[in-house]
A and B are shown apart, each in its own frame.
Chain A
Amino acid sequence: MNATAPLVDVRDLVKHYPGERAWLGLGKPKRVVRAVDGVSFTIAAGQTLGLVGESGSGKSTVARTLLRLTEPTGGAALFEGRDVFALPPGELRALRRRMQIVFQDPYSSLNPRMTVRQTLREPLAIHRLAAGADADARVAALLDEVGLDGALADSYPHELSGGQRQRVGIARALSVEPAFIVCDEPVSALDVSVQAQVLNLLTDLQRRHRLTYLFIAHDLAVVRHTAEQVAVMYLGKIVERAPATAVYQGPRHPYTRSLLSAVPVPDPHAPRRRIVLSGDVPSPANPPPGCPFHPRCPHPKKNERCRTEVPALREITPGHLAACHFAAEPM
């Protein structure tokens, strides 16, 4: 894709949660939950990868293991050429300055007993970036950067609206001047009119600071406006990965197609070709054999092979990968 090495290079990431034993740890162990099962992607510096999936697809687990907020079971994650998963604690802390996260719910991710100023000064103190008057000046600059009135510095989270809280969450991530930010459903909890404000802010900040984003979302419409590359996850695996335009104009995996068709279009005259999937997402503790999507797949050519053989994520056209036995054929 590009000549330079990617900023983030995730290779075969695996996160399994061991099955717990019932009856105070003496019973039969439950099945292993394969939350993330061999996920690979790269993100070039200054670009955004949109990672899309429904609940239980493993998208948030990818984010958390990538930042080592959860320890991975296997695989590697190269950040600026070094494997995040192999770093000793001291170096990990230094690296945390370079990688930050913005959480979905800005209320539960802010400490209710800390003012905005205290929240923003904490990372500056931890990473010894600024103290005293210097730190206050940084706080003022950060608030200005995310479009918040400086007078809000001494407010507590409960005094702020949802959109303002999310701006604080973004300012906190920016405070340590990271190169890479994981945005874990940053606008899902916000109202539509405020959603647009926050999405625009994230786009502006990316341009201004040449930030790299992993943007996690449960719907393809939000990602449409932010990402250059899109990866779609289902049951712990990436089922399609391609440049954004290719995903939106010519999706190759039937799951991506149905996700696209399920996005409600705000136009009563739009032709509605909603592909309604039957059934629910199976449990990652008990995934179906063969293609994990086969029980819900509406593909007309679905056959015995889908039920027995796991389709590999393979390149269909240059840069466009899909994990479906029929991805190369026209639908």
Chain B
Amino acid sequence: MTQPGGTAPLLAVRDLKTYFVTGRGGGTARAVDGVSFELYPGETLGIVGESGCGKTVTSLSILRLIPEPPGHIRPGSYIEFDGRNLLTLAPRDLRAIRGNRIAMVFQEPMTSLNPVFTVGDQIAEAAVVHQGLSRGAARARAIDMLRLVGIPDPETRVDDYPHQLSGGMRQRVVIAMALVCRPQILIADEPTTALDVTIQAQILELLERLQAELGMAVMLITHDLGVVAGTADRVVVMYAGQVVETASTAELFAGPRHPYTEGLLASIPRLDRPADRLTSIPGNVPAATHWPAGCRFHPRCPHAWDKCRREEPPLLDAGTPGHTARCWLVVEPQRRRPAP
């Protein structure tokens, strides 16, 4: 792995395995199964994948927000932040990091806000807890934060309850909540998925501006490659609990090496390239309790051969620095079948 600019990573995830024991003998769901990647200071890292690929469980594992049981993070998993393993930190030390130095924004703003507290109280809460702000200072900080995230008339809005705000405004409040302690890392899990297209554009622009102003690293979790193309510096593509491809954004879009990434890119309905028929990936995402043997993508892959059914490929170096793909085609490119 090369580091952009030769700097050390801010956060390093190593061989993360988060499993869930399912009821009624359904087996163990290996939701995240050996995920490794790193996040560098100031960058935006896109984590892309479809539902069930493990992207959300990965982000929740970083802050140890996985309910245990049924979930558990397997021994041997390692998440390094600031020289320490977040997975073995004492609860007290973890609390000093969570919401303070690493913060999170969730998909659905209404469920991340408490309906019986004003938005001002909720924004300032983290600052009161972590920095011991007084009541007056907390209120002033909340107003500052509302102004920062572009909410008009912040002096009045600070006393509003969540139901008085629109969906876009609520997501701004949630972002203000996350950023109140000026975290080094912001994990944004599908921050625009529940929003309308024009509001989505507003929130993406806001995140971009805040990152530039505050200099934090952003982990943007999304199913939408379009969102990633416009915002991320690097991309991690996940499938079936694993990382299947990592590359700089420019390289991933110019030359994807994993057939799953290729399929995802081809199946996006596009304004700039109208097509009569969309390319689609056949079949469905397999269940986390029964990942296919060999390469987990082989039942849906147009190029798969015997080796793919038998042997699971590791993340292979795809040629250029920082570009890796979990596909045997990287070493046996002659096996690629021409498009029909």
> Which residues of A does B touch, CB under 8 Å?
54-55, 161-164, 191-197, 199-200, 203, 218-222, 224-225, 248, 258-270, 272, 274, 276-278, 280-281
Contact = CB atoms under 8 A, between A and B. Distances in A.
Nearest to B250: A268
Nearest to A203: B277
B3 interface: no
B224 interface: yes
Contacts of A195: 267, 269, 278
Contacts of A277: 198, 201-202
B271 A265 contact: yes
Nearest to A222: B269
Which size class do B's interface residues fall under?
Answer: 35 or more
B284 interface: yes
B197 A218 contact: yes
Contacts of B227: 264
Nearest to A147: B282
Contact of A164 (B205, B269, B277, B284): B284
A97 B71 CA distance: 48
A268 B274 CA distance: 18
Contacts of B285: 161, 191
A272 B167 CA distance: 25
A278 B274 CA distance: 29
For the complex of A and B, 8 pairs with smallest distance between CB atoms = A264-B226, A196-B280, A196-B267, A193-B281, A196-B278, A54-B196, A191-B50, A262-B201
A192 B277 CA distance: 14
Nearest to A278: B202
B196 A281 contact: yes
A248 B51 CA distance: 30
Given A161-B284, A193-B281, A281-B196, A274 B201 contact: yes
B253 interface: yes
Given A199-B278, A221-B270, A262 B200 contact: yes
Contacts of B316: none
A266 to B, nearest CB: 5
Contacts of A162: 51
Interface in B221-278: 223-230, 249-250, 253, 263-265, 267-272, 274-278
A300 B171 CA distance: 29
A160 to B, nearest CB: 9
B114 interface: no
Interface in B260-314: 263-265, 267-272, 274-282, 284-285
B207 interface: no
Contacts of A259: 197-198
B230 A264 contact: yes
Centre residue among B166, B169, B271 by max chain A CB count within 10 A: B271
Nearest to B206: A276
A268 B253 contact: yes
Given A196-B267, A266-B268, A276-B205, A225 B275 contact: yes
A270 B272 contact: yes
Contact of A200 (B272, B280, B284): B280
A276 B201 contact: yes
B99 interface: no
B19 to A, nearest CB: 22
29 contacts: A54-B198, A161-B284, A162-B51, A192-B264, A192-B267, A195-B269, A196-B279, A199-B278, A200-B277, A200-B280, A218-B196, A224-B270, A224-B271, A225-B274, A263-B226, A264-B200, A264-B204, A266-B225, A266-B268, A267-B229, A274-B201, A276-B198, A276-B202, A276-B205, A277-B198, A280-B166, A280-B167, A280-B168, A280-B199
Contacts of A225: 269, 274-276, 278
B280 A258 contact: no
A281 B169 CA distance: 11
Contact of A262 (B167, B197, B274): B197
Given A192-B225, A280-B168, 17 more contacts: A192-B224, A192-B267, A193-B50, A195-B278, A196-B278, A196-B280, A197-B281, A218-B196, A219-B197, A224-B274, A225-B269, A258-B198, A259-B197, A262-B197, A265-B226, A276-B198, A280-B169
Contacts of B167: 55, 280
A191 B204 CA distance: 21
A250 to B, nearest CB: 14
Given A194-B284, A264-B229, A264-B230, A221 B269 contact: yes
A262 B277 CA distance: 23
Contacts of A196: 267, 269, 278-281
A175 B265 CA distance: 34
A216 B267 CA distance: 19
Centre residue among A220, A258, A266, A274 by max chain B CB count within 10 A: A266
